[in-house]
Amino acid sequence: MAPPAQSHRSASPSQPSGKSEVSDLKSQLRQLAGNRAPGVDDSKRELFKKVISYMTIGIDVSSLFGEMVMCSATSDIVLKKMCYLYVGNYAKGNPDLALLTINFLQRDCKDVDPMIRGLALRSLCSLRVANLVEYLVGPLELGLKDNNSYVRMVAVIGVLKLYHISASTCVDEDFLATLKHLMLNDPDTQVVANCLSALQEIWSSEASTSEEASREREALLSKPVVYYFLNRIKEFSEWAQCLVLELVAKYVPSDSNEIFDIMNLLEDRLQHANGAVVLASIKVFMQLTLSMTDVHQQVYERIKAPLLTLVSSGSPEQSYAVLSHLHLLVIRAPYIFSEDYKHFYCQYNEPSYVKKLKLEMLTAVANESNTYEIVTELCEYAANVDIPIARESIRAVGKIALQQYDVNAIVDRLLQFLEMEKDYVTAEALVLVKDLLRKYPQWSHDCIAVVGNISSKNVQEPKAKAALIWMLGEYSQDMHDAPYILENLIENWDEEHSAEVRLHLLTAVMKCFFKRPPETQKALGAALAAGLADFHQDVHDRALFYYRLLQYNVSVAEHVVNPPKQAVSVFADTHSNEIKDRIFDEFNSLSVVYQKPSYMFTDKEHRGPFEFSDEHVNLSPGTESADTVVPAQRVDANDKDLLLSTAEKDEGRDASSNGSAYSAPSYDIAASQTQKESSISNSNIPGNTLPSSSAIDDLLGLGFPIETATTPTPPPLNLNQKAILDPGTFQQKWRQLPISLSQECSINPEGVASLTAPNALLRHMQSHSIHCIAQGGQPPNFKLFFFAQKAEESSTFLVECIINTSSAKTQIKIKADDQSASQAFSTLFQTALSKFGFP
């Protein structure tokens, strides 16, 4: 362990500076070291306390290591604990000295008092010094067999600690089998729970390199194991219950009877006082019923009350954690919560992070019957002292208006906002009125009358200014002063810092020009001149474009700038549905709070130098931001096909019309010629045979009960050359199936070097009967989705493959209908991939 963080900082004046005190302590400890007189323990305690307190405030007391160890020969348990704490803190920085402690720790591991055995073992495992690993194995083995459950509990976590110091020792010494045995047989539930934590963690991290580990990890989700945990769930502590429920949520029951049995068993968990248990149970209920629409609805109804209770009890932080989850559910199924809208009313003193979520929920649940009340309530918040919340609530009103319930009353309210004469209220309302007009052009008359009264001088925020300018351009025929206001704005071109505003100004003055040429001509000239001289590339380009367009043909220009417009029917959503589903799959975790799937904030490659931005992950085109408007027919398409089908749809169209970075794979007919060979090469893939050891186990019948539940050796894998899968099905499957394999592998660097566009790779993979269904990304990162089907049956494999060309590494995630075959398929896939680049 690194010494506490502030050790390098100068301690504050009230704290001792260190040096002299430390040497003082040193001599005092020396005196006491050999002393065995009665009562000496009390003075030792005082000294130890001093040492620990120095350690806590960040003074480096590592120089006392020797003396502390000498003093540790005591039977006083309090002294021992302080000593263990000290040793744990400094051992990592002083590996040589740590060796000194091994002796007394090992001795304590054999103490008669189980308490001391446990403490010593915990401290021994917490030394975190790699070259002392050999001393850990013996005590751990004994600890796991100890007849006291406290010691076993500590030992189990000790194995996990050992794994983190030296994974190979942990695996080689066969601790995992012992843990598995304990997990299924130990009478103490905390021991069982710790085994589960440890095994989950170890097998998950081993799974990428070891087939056995990934099989074991799958076995945790097998019926006997899950049932074993479910039957004992009431004995577990509340924290361990969370752990078990998390496991159950991943279990895939075989039929609906099983689903109902599990739900009946867990029903009363929804009344548990611990909110974390309730949330974990909700997750189980949600996940189990995903495929049963009716029951899923009932589950929503059932969990509503407990969730609302949780939100209204506990500290604001706890309630925020629950509210984030409620938020997710409300957004998924707003109609179920539409009668509970009053629960989402904000209290005056609530922290703004709670208010913000509530506002979003109020927006989501608005429907015909409650819009009036909700909007009335939101208007109260618009006058809130907290300006960000006031803004949010105005935006919320606008969003409800765009959901087209009772627009009449809302428009009036929005126009009232414009007259409130508060800068931020005006600004937000302007942006909203703009969006509203794009959707309901029929309201232009009422709106323009009010907007016309707003002095552009009072509008400073770029977004609001841009909105105002847009309206000036769009409705210049209805607004008397439009050309003159625009002219005024153009005169102050140099003072306008926002490029967005300048771009809008150019377009608006163009529009105005076509409607009222004589009044605008002068302003247009000035605007084009200013635009051409602009240092901002986009502004410059747009000005030049307009200029040339006007030069070329004025009527064409008019058609480009002022085409007849269709009203926008649906505004694009910020999150793609795939993202939303992934977040839902990770219910009861940070993903929900951050509102992004975990790979975006935990995977190293997503945080590191080559980070996937949100745009890369959005697979459906045109979903850039809430403000972006997509023409009606495009949006309709987006609503239905979520993940991939757009790729197919776009095939027929001009490729350039597709704004997305993802393009459809171009299937090459030539590739089909090579397919015959591929099925031959597929049959002799080495990965198809299981490691012989476990096969022998099975023969002798020595395996643990779980092992019998694991799948038999898969038959050799042949892939269908002409596999077909439509994008909708792919997407559906991708969402439903668990990840059966997740691996990292490298590909031939020469091949990668030539991989400027992924198309070459697609053809190559197709020659191995693995088909691409969607692809995207830009160098150095490519993301591809593949699928393949078994030759004999319609069992499919789905692959997500992320290639980083600079490191020649790929990350693959495989999902399969037939989980047992996924390992064989993975080998096949990697073999195919590794051949890429060779002629």
Partner 1 sequence: MPVAASAIYFLNLRGDVLINRLYRDDVGGNMVDAFRMHIMQTKELGTCPVRQIGGCSFFYMRISNVYIVIVVSSNANVACAFKFVVEAVALFKSYFGGAFDEDAIRNNFVLIYELLDEIMDFGYPQNLSAEILKLYITQEGVRSPFSSKPTDKPVPNATLQVTGAVGWRREGLVYKKNEVFLDIVESVNLLMSSKGSVLRCDVTGKVLMKCFLSGMPDLKLGLNDKIGLEKESQLKSRPTKSGKTIELDDVTFHQCVNLTRFNSEKTVSFVPPDGEFELMKYRITEGVNLPFKVLPTIKELGRTRMEVNVKVKSVFGAKMFALGVVIKIPVPKQTAKTSFQVTSGRAKYNAAIDCLVWKIRKFPGQTEPTLSAEVELISTIGEKKSLTRPPIQMEFQVPMFTASGLRVRFLKVWEKSGYNTVEWVRYITKAGSYEIRC
Residues 6+ apart with CB under 8 A from 377: 345, 362
What is the DSSP track for 508-557?
Answer: HHHHHHHHSHHHHHHHHHHHHHHHHT-SSHHHHHHHHHHHHHHHH-HHHH
422 binds partner 1 (CB under 8 A): yes
Residue where the block lists tokens 């005591």: 74
Q: Which is nearer to partner 1, 276 or 664 (CB)?
A: 276
421 binds partner 1 (CB under 8 A): yes
Among 27, 254, 257, 349, binds partner 1 (CB under 8 A): 349
Q: Which is nearer to partner 1, 306 or 714 (CB)?
A: 306
Residue where the block lists tokens 């002798």: 700
Judged by CB under 8 A, which stretch of 181-189, 207-215, 666-674, 766-774 contacts partner 1?
181-189
Alpha-carbon distances, residue 579 vs 291, 534, 586, 604, 614 (angstroms): 19, 39, 11, 19, 10
How far apart are the C-alpha atoms of 139 and 120, rounded to whole Å?
Answer: 10
**Stretch 809-828 residues interacting with partner 1 (CB under 8 A):** none
Q: Which is nearer to partner 1, 323 or 490 (CB)?
A: 323
601 binds partner 1 (CB under 8 A): yes
745 binds partner 1 (CB under 8 A): no
52 binds partner 1 (CB under 8 A): yes
Q: Which is nearer to partner 1, 114 or 525 (CB)?
A: 114
Q: Which is nearer to partner 1, 42 or 412 (CB)?
A: 42
275 binds partner 1 (CB under 8 A): yes
Output DSSP code: residue 602: T
Among 34, 138, 316, 715, binds partner 1 (CB under 8 A): 316
> At closest approach, how far in Å is the CB of 591 from partner 1?
6
> At closest approach, how far in Å is the CB of 601 from partner 1?
6
Question: Exposed, middle or buried: residue 424 (CB in 10 Å: 0-12, 13-18, 19+)?
Answer: middle
670 binds partner 1 (CB under 8 A): no
> At closest approach, how far in Å is the CB of 831 from partner 1?
32
How far apart are the C-alpha atoms of 789 and 820, rounded to whole Å?
Answer: 14
> At closest approach, how far in Å is the CB of 758 from partner 1?
29
Residues 6+ apart with CB under 8 A from 350: 316, 358
Residues 6+ apart with CB under 8 A from 389: 346, 352, 355, 356, 359, 381
**Stretch 137-166 residues interacting with partner 1 (CB under 8 A):** 148-150, 153-154, 157, 160-161, 164
Site string for partner 1, 9-28 (x = CB under 8 A): ---x----------------
> At closest approach, how far in Å is the CB of 60 from partner 1?
13
Judged by CB under 8 A, which stretch of 592-600, 631-639, 748-756, 775-783 contacts partner 1?
592-600
Site string for partner 1, 232-251 (x = CB under 8 A): ---x-xxx--xx--x-----
> At closest approach, how far in Å is the CB of 313 from partner 1?
6
Tokens of 528: 């084009």
Which residues are paired to 746 by β-bridges?
809
**Stretch 704-723 residues interacting with partner 1 (CB under 8 A):** none
Of the candidates 172, 175, 227, the residue with the CA atom closest to the CA atom of residue 199: 175
Judged by CB under 8 A, which stretch of 40-48, 407-415, 448-456, 780-788 contacts partner 1?
40-48
677 binds partner 1 (CB under 8 A): no
Among 26, 30, 250, 272, binds partner 1 (CB under 8 A): 272
Q: Are 783 and 777 in contact (CB under 8 A)?
A: yes
**Stretch 459-478 residues interacting with partner 1 (CB under 8 A):** none
Question: Exposed, middle or buried: residue 648 (CB in 10 Å: 0-12, 13-18, 19+)?
Answer: middle
> At closest approach, how far in Å is the CB of 11 from partner 1?
10
Q: Which is nearer to partner 1, 1 or 632 (CB)?
A: 1
Number of residues that bind partner 1 (CB under 8 A): 110
> At closest approach, how far in Å is the CB of 459 from partner 1?
16
627 binds partner 1 (CB under 8 A): no
Among 22, 105, 278, 635, binds partner 1 (CB under 8 A): 278
What residue type is assigned to position 98 of the chain? A
How far apart are the C-alpha atoms of 336 and 154, rounded to whole Å?
Answer: 46
Q: Are 408 and 376 in contact (CB under 8 A)?
A: no
Residues 6+ apart with CB under 8 A from 657: 650
594 binds partner 1 (CB under 8 A): yes
> At closest approach, how far in Å is the CB of 745 from partner 1?
23
> At closest approach, how far in Å is the CB of 230 from partner 1?
14
**Stretch 384-403 residues interacting with partner 1 (CB under 8 A):** 384-385
**Stretch 757-786 residues interacting with partner 1 (CB under 8 A):** none
**Stretch 63-82 residues interacting with partner 1 (CB under 8 A):** 75-78, 81-82
**Please, which contacts does 259-267 make with residues 24 or more away whose CB atoms are closer than 8 Å?**
259/288, 259/289, 259/292, 259/295, 262/230, 262/288, 263/288, 263/289, 265/230, 265/233, 266/230, 266/233
> At closest approach, how far in Å is the CB of 574 from partner 1?
19
449 binds partner 1 (CB under 8 A): no
How far apart are the C-alpha atoms of 532 and 682, rounded to whole Å?
Answer: 61
**Stretch 363-382 residues interacting with partner 1 (CB under 8 A):** 377, 380
How far apart are the C-alpha atoms of 508 and 502, rounded to whole Å?
Answer: 10
Helix axes 499-515, 517-532, angle to 10 degrees: 150
Judged by CB under 8 A, which stretch of 96-104, 189-197, 393-401, 819-827 contacts partner 1?
189-197
Residues 6+ apart with CB under 8 A from 527: 486, 490, 493, 505, 506, 509, 543
Which residues are paired to 239 by β-bridges?
none
The order of strands in the sheet holding 771-776 is: 741-746, 809-816, 796-804, 781-789, 771-776
> At closest approach, how far in Å is the CB of 719 from partner 1?
34
